[in-house]
Amino acid sequence: MKVDLKQVEEACKELYIRALKILPPDIKEGFARLDKTETDATGKSVLGTMIMNIKVAEATNNLLCQDTGIPIYNVVIGRGIEVDGHALKQAIAAGCARATKEHPLRSSVVHPVTRTNEHTSCGRLVPVINIDFSDEADTLSIEMIPKGSGSENNSWLKMAIPADGVDAVKTFVIDCVLDAGGKTCPPTIVGVGVGGTADLCVHLSKVAATRPLGSHCTDPEGAKLESELSAVVNQLGVGPQGLGGDSTSFAVHVETAATHITMNPVAVNMQCHSARRARATFTPQGLSYGF
């Protein structure tokens, strides 16, 4: 299947706007679940306000949060897809810029030294474009994630000592959740990367943080760690917006990779309660949108 790059550009524009305005169903279900189990009066009240904010934003076609984030596009190319890779990246960036200019959206992207804002949500190596491949025939999938700075500022990497084992991983994650407090606008999704190299580990933590709620690590040991940590973090008392309560996190997600015998990297990357994402899927039958 040959990919229409003009259609890709238009879809990437639409994805950015959709992601900023429509919260995925799994996150809404996560809010409902936490609301049922929250025992702290303040936590219950704050959750209610957050749930109302989501309803008002969607009813009035407004942004869920003023932070339009760093734009991230995750591209998965299936078998039989014909596309110019460089032109594909150009189309994605053009769609991102058009969303910012034509909607219009606040551009949150600046040069790291001069702080110059091009007002396109684009810059050097931004939007971030991750490309992977699958064995699904004639399918191109593009996921858009606007990653806000409130969550991205709460990122950590530790090169743990292998002899300290899994306890070092657990302790590090808990310390990070406590250090973040209310700065990540909890309830959060806590993404944890374990293994690989330093850069792969950090990447895995972001993959974990932006996974849908209800999904699980495909590595049984990672899935076990997810379950254990998810139960623990909601006993820390951080609560919604850091004001106290049981609802510190929707879940802890873990991704793992093989690593070197003399090291054990562990990284944490958090996603805020406004865990926004949108997806476009191109097949011979046409273009469809989802989460």
CATH label of the domain that carries residue 9: 3.30.1330
- How many Å apart are CA 97 and CA 258, to the nearest integer? 37
Cα(144)–Cα(133) distance, rounded to whole angstroms?
A: 17
DSSP letter for 132, please: E
Residue 47 lies in a domain: no
Per-residue pLDDT, 56: 96
How many residues in total does the chain contain? 291
203 lies in the same domain as 256:
yes
The domain of 89 spans: 5-20+64-147+276-290
Domain tally for the chain? 2
pLDDT value at position 75? Answer: 98
Contact criterion met (CB below 8 Å) for 281 and 139: yes
Backbone angles phi, psi at 239, to 5 degrees: 75, 175
Tell me how far apart the alpha carbons of residues 226 and 230 are, in angstroms, rounded to a whole number: 6
Residue 114 lies in a domain: yes
- Positions of the chain with pLDDT under 70: none
Per-residue confidence (pLDDT) for residue 149, from 0 to 100: 94
pTM over 0.75: yes
Q: Is residue 39 part of a domain?
A: no
Which of 145, 178, 187, 185 has its CA nearest to residue 33? 187
Check whether residue 111 and residue 248 sit in a common domain.
Answer: no
Q: What is the pLDDT of residues 174-204, one digit of tens each?
A: 999 999 999 999 999 999 999 999 999 999 9
- DSSP β-bridge partners for residue 170: none
Whether 167 is in a domain gets the answer: yes
**What's the pLDDT at 146?**
97
Report the pLDDT value the prediction gives residue 287, as an integer from 0 to 100.
97
**Does an H or E element contain 54, and which?**
helix 41-59
Q: How far is CA 280 from the centre of its chain?
A: 16
Cα–Cα dist 277/22, whole Å: 8
Is residue 31 situated within a structural domain? Answer: no
Q: Alpha-carbon distance 74 to 246, whole Å?
A: 32
- pLDDT score, position 41: 97
Element (H, E) at 176: helix 165-180
Give the per-residue pLDDT at 189. 98
**Is residue 99 domain-shared with residue 237, that is, in the same domain?**
no
- Both tokens of 71, joined, read 């734009």
Sign, Cα dihedral of 212, 213, 216, 217: positive
What confidence score (pLDDT) does residue 29 get? 97
Pair 142, 283 in one domain: yes
Q: Are 62 and 21 in contact (CB under 8 A)?
A: yes
**Cβ atoms 109, 118 nearer than 8 A:** yes
DSSP state of 245: S
Note the Cα 207 to chain centre separation in Å. 7
pLDDT of amino acid 82? 96
Say if strands 128-137 and 70-79 run parallel, antiparallel, or are unpaired.
parallel
Indicate if 240 and 282 belong to the same structural domain.
no
What is the per-residue pLDDT for 110? 97
**110 and 166 housed in the same domain:** no
- Position 183 in a domain: yes
Beta bridge partners of 20: none
